[in-house]
Amino acid sequence: MSTQNNFFESHIPMIQQCGVVVIGRNEGERLVICLDSIIKHGLSVVYVDSGSTDHSIAVAKSKNCEIVELDMSIPFTAARARNEGYKHLETLMPEIKYVQFVDGDCEIFEDWFEYAYHFIYENHNIAVVCGVLRERYPEKSVYNMLCQAEWDSLLGEINACGGNSLVRVSAFSEVSGFREDLIAGEEPELCLRMRRLGWKIWRIDRNMALHDASIYYFSQWWKRAVRSGYAYSEGAYLHKESKDAFRLENLKKIRLWGFWIPIVIVVSILAFGWHGFYIFLIYPIQIFRISRFGKRSKKDNIYWAFFTVLGKFPEMIGLFKFHYHRMTKSVSRIIEYK
């Protein structure tokens, strides 16, 4: 990576090369905070709305953002929203070189745009740069805390980014953007196709955004986990012929803990009576083992381990849902948890 002293100097101002696409639906006050954190930088902003029934569109108009209202007669995906937003942004900025994708429930940190722009500008082999994502209220629910633990990811070269990232337009165009039929997991799939062409994905040690998950109920967490299982299954199926083993490790764990071990328990109980139930102890043992690798407080590590293991069951449901839709050729709909 470049270590030049003029790291924050460039021949071309950021405002001439970088635009922003924000996607959202019924984000309320979160969208106000999101847009306020962006427009102060003077960048071109396109807000893509996916059928909001609140005042989201009015808010975006009041902030002088360009508006794209998705045709909701077509099944919605975040991937489609981002692609539509980029296409509109490209009409505004034909010479655009970088696009920052932002989810409407996030607030961008003050110096993120400038830092990320100069980083990707100086490193020509990088297609995507992201930073450190923080959860806004991790203390308000165990589910928000789990999201924060999820955001605590490795720095440096990585395999995939999330929904908030600065993307090099030439790389984005080379792979024809996001796959619009994916109901989730579109960012890792995009990064996979970029990496196959020799591009790199990078996470820098810089605060990027505050994320407001607003997950306060078990049912929300459960639906989010079902969606993850669906995304893992769909991604693995799409690239099953490749050598990347995309998502296969995730699927192995889901099948083992969410299907095969429960089957063994049931068979053992039928064969040996309640003595077979002792096999169930493998779950608390696994929870204890995982908790030892946690990087948070002892209490949070136990919660994290417990929900990691429990999550294999809704993820297994997501796996079943995907293959059911695939075999019946039915249209998959986004799995919402908010």
pLDDT at residue 12 in the model: 67
Number of structural domains in the chain: 2
pLDDT at residue 67 in the model: 96
Residue 295, pLDDT above cutoff 90 = no
Do 174 and 302 fall within a single domain? no
Cβ contact 107:34 at 8 Å: yes
Residue 1, pLDDT above cutoff 50 = no
Beta strands in 105-185 (DSSP E): 106-108, 126-135, 156-158, 165-168
Among 184, 216, 248, the domain boundary falls at 216
pLDDT at residue 233 in the model: 96
Do 202 and 310 fall within a single domain? no
pLDDT at residue 13 in the model: 74
pLDDT band at 291 (very low <50, low <70, confident <90, very high): very high
Across the range 16-28, mean pLDDT stands at 94
Q: Would you say residue 310 lies in a domain?
A: yes
Residue 106, pLDDT above cutoff 90 = yes
Domain assignment of residue 171, given as a range: 14-216
Is residue 227 classed exposed, middle or buried when 0-12, 13-18 and 19+ CB atoms within 10 A define those classes?
buried
Taking the C-alpha atoms of 169, 173, 179 and 183 in order, what is their torsion angle to the nearest 10 degrees? 10
pLDDT at residue 72 in the model: 86
Do 247 and 206 fall within a single domain? no
Amino acid at 237: Y
Q: Would you say residue 301 lies in a domain?
A: yes
Q: Would you say residue 179 lies in a domain?
A: yes
Do 31 and 139 fall within a single domain? yes
pLDDT at residue 93 in the model: 94
Interatomic CA distance for residues 191 and 185, integer angstroms: 10
Residue 9, pLDDT above cutoff 50 = no
pLDDT at residue 4 in the model: 42
pLDDT at residue 15 in the model: 76
Neighbour count for residue 156 (Cβ, 10 Å): 10
Q: Would you say residue 9 lies in a domain?
A: no
Residue 41, pLDDT above cutoff 80 = yes
Q: 286 versus 152: which is more confidently predicted?
A: 286
Contacts of 312 (CB under 8 A, 6+ apart): 253, 254, 256, 257, 258
Beta bridge partners of 209: 108, 133
Across the range 176-185, mean pLDDT stands at 94
Do 31 and 180 fall within a single domain? yes
Do 209 and 252 fall within a single domain? no
pLDDT at residue 8 in the model: 44
Q: Among 25, 169, 41, 183, which Cα is nearest to 104's?
A: 25
Query: For the segment 229-273, what is each residue's pLDDT rounded down to a tens digit?
Result: 999 999 999 999 888 889 999 999 999 999 999 999 999 999 888
Do 265 and 131 fall within a single domain? no
Do 66 and 195 fall within a single domain? yes
Min mean pLDDT across 7-21, 113-127, 303-317 is at 7-21
Do 115 and 206 fall within a single domain? yes
